[in-house]
Structure formats: structure tokens, C-alpha cells
Amino acid sequence: MSKLTEALSQDKLGVCLKLEASEVKRVYRTTELLPDFDFIPYDGGTDKDYPVWHEFDLSDEAIFIHSLILDDYGYFVDDDPHDDPEYELPKATSESTGKLALELQMADRFGCRALVRGSLSGTSMEMNMDVRFNFIVASYSGESSRIGYAAEAIAEGFAFEEEGKLKQAFFSYFSALDSFVESEREKLNKGQSDDQRIKPDIRLMQKLQAIIKANMPPSVGGLDKVKNGETLRTVSTSAKNSETLSLTTRKQSRLLRPTLICALPSPPSSWRWLVMISTKKKRLGSTTL
């Protein structure tokens, strides 16, 4: 079980994709790039290197951003095959002028904004040309049909964790776990007699154990019998789009790090994934699951 937990903790985006707490998609924006002439004087038709930057509002595409890369950029030409993934946008108007050199400077995960900075080497003609930006974004943009509110809390926690705000991430993950457990408890209690119902006043971990036991097929024999390889292949297949993201690998922190783990190999119900918090009890302080 520890190997499964460790492996999935290295692919949290893949787990978020499976839980519908994140999705990977392409986002396109087209705009003119106007230099700030407070930094460098305008020289009209004379070739000159101008510093440029532009902020993009992506709030219509996401509520939380988990990862963002600038996949391509260049001058927009009407007849070019923009939708062809193999097509590279032109980054100059000729061999000697109109050169663009841009990079993604910052991504605001909660404000859902992207800042692109760089230089435009050219004249006023290039300043009046449209430049197209192709982003690849992993983000949460709406409620999950699989686990409801818990997906939003997981998405928020993952965004906090990517920013290194681990305390906020922990509380978001804990909120997701609590929401998921309560939802499943209510489902399991329907039609049950009072003595068979999962009580609302017991500890969260006891509720979780009862839910796992109720949904575990008899032939499995407990969580220790879950096949790690089979489970991880399920994650990999479902999250294949995440491979297009060149995510920066973060060093493991010694602070509290909630982990999303897969629990059930062959569930009788429609849900397959449980959210669990993997941590050492001594780091919880006075908090008891």
C-alpha cells in the first residue's frame, strides 16, 4: 500500500484528472503587442528592440489553474493552418526584422491570469500585427459529476500545493475528504436500519473505514490486496493528456503533504476513487481523524 501511495503522490495531476478535479486543454489568445514607451522611445518605422509584456485573463476558462505552459506563439496569418498541432507560428516578419522573443513570466493560479514578457525587434508595422498565443492549461473549471463539491476542494488544494502553501492545501484536502465521506455515508445509510447506519458523530477515519468496508468486494480481501500495477495503469490511461504538460518537479517537503490515493480496484458502485490523507500522526498535533 505504501508503494501505491508513493507512486500516486508523484502523479497528483493524473489523480486530479481521474477525479474530475482538473482537466487539460488548449487555450488560444490573439492580441497586439504594444511596447511601453515610458521605457524606450518610439522610433516609428526604424527597426528597434522594444520590451513588451501582456497579461491574459483566463478566468473564463478556469476557476483554479494547476499548470500553464506557453506552447507556441507567433504572428497570426489568416491563411495559415493554425489548428494543425504540427504547425509552428512564425516568429518574425522577415529574416532581418519583426523578431519575437517571448516567454511565460507568471501564472496566477487563483486569479487565473498569465503574464507574458519578452521583446519585439521591429517597427510600428509589427506593433500593429496580431500575435497568437497557444497555451496548454491544466485547470479546474466546474463541478465534477463524479464527486461533486469534493472535486472543487481538491482542485483548490492542488493549486495551493503547487504554490508551496501546504497548510492551506491540507485544509482544502481535508475539506474534500470530509465532503466525500459525508456524501457516501448518506448514500449508504439510505434504506438501512438504525443499527446498520454509519453514525454522523463518529470520527472521520471511522466513517471512511466503514465506507471502504461496505464497498469492498468480498474477494479482494482488503486494501493490501490491491494490485499496484493495475491501479497505476488505470491512472496513466485516464491521464494521458497530462503528458503534454512539462511540469516542474517539486522537491518533497518535510511539511504535511496530503496525498490522493486510489482505494478500490473493482467497486460495485459507480465511484472508484477515494480521497485519503496520508500523513504521520505526530504531525497532526491536536487534530484527530
What pLDDT is recorded for position 215?
A: 78
pTM value is 0.70
What pLDDT is recorded for position 4?
A: 56
Give Cβ neighbours of residue 54 (< 8 Å, ≥ 6 apart).
Answer: 31, 33, 115, 116
What pLDDT is recorded for position 284?
A: 35
What are φ and ψ of residue 181, in 5° steps?
A: -65, -45
Strand order in the sheet with 113-122: 48-57, 113-122, 99-108
- Strand duo 99-108 + 23-32: pairing: unpaired
- Give 133's strand partners: 29, 73
Mind listing the pLDDT tens digit of every residue in the chain (289 residues)? 566 566 656 788 888 998 899 999 999 999 988 887 777 777 777 778 888 999 999 999 999 999 999 999 999 888 777 677 788 898 988 877 889 999 999 999 999 999 999 998 887 777 888 999 999 999 999 877 788 899 999 999 999 999 999 999 999 999 999 998 998 898 888 888 888 888 888 888 888 888 888 877 766 555 555 444 443 343 334 434 444 453 433 333 333 333 333 333 333 333 333 333 333 333 333 333 4
What pLDDT is recorded for position 224?
A: 52
Cα(38)–Cα(243) distance, rounded to whole angstroms? 42
Please name which of 59, 151, 157 lies closest in space to residue 108, comparing C-alpha atoms. 59
| Domain positions in the chain | 2-21+149-280, 26-140
